[in-house]
Structure 1
């Protein structure tokens, strides 16, 4: 059920990095940035069918092809797909410091009810002609009998974590498949192009520094830590930026996490497991939490070459991947040894 929990986020620089690319996305009609409505431009995008029979993996629904009043119920897959599709969002649940928040129209209202206690009357008050939600939350609401379909047609967005047999080789399969079903292929192409542009720019900025360096990614709650470098987004982004992903017997022999990704280790093994990492990305359980004292002895942490990660970036589509690239670049440029070598 971890995919349904509300995830804390760190201080976030996406308001700068994502908005810097808005002009590129605007050309493709994907987004118009903070304070503007995110709609596809008519000249660049064919008019969708009046009605779309959406069927992907285990979800089927009949939805409007060109909705006018969209309510989004989550801040991850649902919100990202709504932004990619250029849907006019009238209300949504989103983290104000999340990676996608700068792309949400300033006119969109913020839902007052919590994710676990949705207010159906509040949703209905926006008179939506489409409700968009990620599949994790969508299945939860179905199981709890929220009957969202009685308010408006519902699009459950597949987050893509289980779609491909090798998600690291096909990171955007779920995005491209679903946008094609929504008759918005051009938006998919533009989002991938924007991500690839960010990667190319990142290599120019930090490529000389990252070459030959190893990196690891961990989730670090109180009792132990979970090495999650094998999740698709890191297997794609870190090598693209020049890092190799740290592997060793200590990590590989550790028990698998109950979530199905990563390996769980006690903090007493932190130095042994992570000692050879040149860069460490740490996702803390709470934004303001301090690092475990043993974790502070890991060389990458001692030397200041660690990144305080944003849990909202653990999975997503091309906009999320791009935001992760941009954030890593900004953080690496702040490392003391990067500053020293760049002088």
Structure 2
């Protein structure tokens, strides 16, 4: 009888021990799940401090001019600003994306984003943060290529972005040497845009290919442009003074369907750049950004026009 009781006691101990072991394992399961969940996020050091964001975002809303940066890294966009949506070169990648702004809170909620990217400052920032993690960038706070690397880090693809930057700088600088050899050292270049019946000339860091021409290729700009547009990035012009800002070569960004009547004036037609066929016309909607997709297009545009 004693042996039977001893056997039962031992069996009970083993059973309780097994149950305890199972309970310990079970208690560890949430930790494993938690670890897996944590591995699905990264911490990005933003302008406003560290922000926890998805490690592999799949539903990004872009409320600014950074759509091309995100698309170039093959990250899906579900909502985008109207300027990016209207870019013909982005059409295929953004065909299913909804047009949204920082005022369209209900529409953004319906898109169920896992990350929101925008220009600083954003309207309704606190309310947007309730929908998804929000990361904003100040335009031109860093140079255009560093901006891409930062967005790469945000999307957990920093190394990929840096590799493209290194390669692009090399190709752009090499093309710049070819252009200078072709047109001659010291020939000046202007980047001019006709937008909504207003003419602008641009410095060296405001899209429209300015970063490539002036930062990478080191092509000179006219002194008048340097004096008036370099500091702020752009300068508004009247058609009467336009010739003063036109270099030996001109990149003219314009809307082909807009009012380009200034091009029919004698003032414009009699400039040396026009007479010598040194005005290269680009479609405004395809040309104003400085994301990698647009930069690649701009570089090819410069090759085709300067080196033809």
What is the number of equivalent residue pairs in this alignment? Answer: 263
1:230-281 Cα distance to aligned partner (Å, 9 max, x none): 3365554115785722222x44555x69x9223444332222342xx22101
**Gaps spanning 5+ residues in structure 2: where?**
1-37
CA contact (8 A) 1:72 1:89 kept: yes
SS, match of residue 268 in structure 1: coil
Residue 87 of structure 1 pairs with residue 66 of structure 2: no
CA contact (8 A) 1:224 1:266 kept: yes
Residue 304 of structure 1 pairs with residue 277 of structure 2: yes
User: Where does residue 98 of structure 2 map in the other structure?
Assistant: 111
Of the candidates 143, 162, 176, which is equivalent to residue 149 of structure 2? 176
1:291-328 Cα distance to aligned partner (Å, 9 max, x none): 41223332212333212333664453433322221222
Structure 1 residues 217 and 53, CA gap change in structure 2 (3 angstroms) = same
User: Where does residue 123 of structure 1 map in the other structure?
Assistant: 108
CA contact (8 A) 2:43 2:52 kept: yes
Structure 1 residues 59 and 295, CA gap change in structure 2 (3 angstroms) = farther
Of the candidates 205, 209, 222, which is equivalent to residue 182 of structure 2? 209
Report 1:35-114 matches (<5 A).
49-58=39-48, 60-74=50-64, 76-77=65-66, 79-93=67-81, 94-102=84-92, 104=93, 109-112=96-99
CA contact (8 A) 2:44 2:154 kept: yes
**Gaps spanning 5+ residues in structure 1: where?**
1-47, 339-343
CA contact (8 A) 1:90 1:109 kept: yes
User: Where does residue 148 of structure 1 map in the other structure?
Assistant: 128
Q: Distance in 1 between matches of 2:214 and 2:99?
A: 40
CA contact (8 A) 1:215 1:243 kept: no
Structure 1 residues 269 and 90, CA gap change in structure 2 (3 angstroms) = closer
Q: Distance in 1 between matches of 2:287 and 2:169?
A: 17
CA shift for structure 1 position 215? 0.8
CA contact (8 A) 1:198 1:326 kept: no
Aligned-pair RMSD on alpha carbons? 3.7
Structure 1 residues 272 and 141, CA gap change in structure 2 (3 angstroms) = closer
Q: Distance in 1 between matches of 2:217 and 2:61?
A: 39
Of the candidates 230, 243, 246, which is equivalent to residue 221 of structure 2? 246
Q: Distance in 2 between matches of 1:180 and 1:332?
A: 35
Q: Distance in 1 between matches of 2:232 and 2:128?
A: 30
Q: Distance in 1 between matches of 2:39 and 2:74?
A: 15
Q: Distance in 2 between matches of 1:182 and 1:199?
A: 25
CA contact (8 A) 1:98 1:312 kept: yes
Of the candidates 165, 175, 182, which is equivalent to residue 192 of structure 1? 165
Determine which structure has the larger helix proportion and give its number.
Answer: 2
Report 1:306-321 matches (<5 A).
306-309=279-282, 310=284, 313-321=287-295
CA shift for structure 1 position 63? 1.6
Q: Distance in 2 between matches of 1:217 and 1:203?
A: 16
TM-score normalised by L of structure 2: 0.67
CA contact (8 A) 1:52 1:64 kept: yes
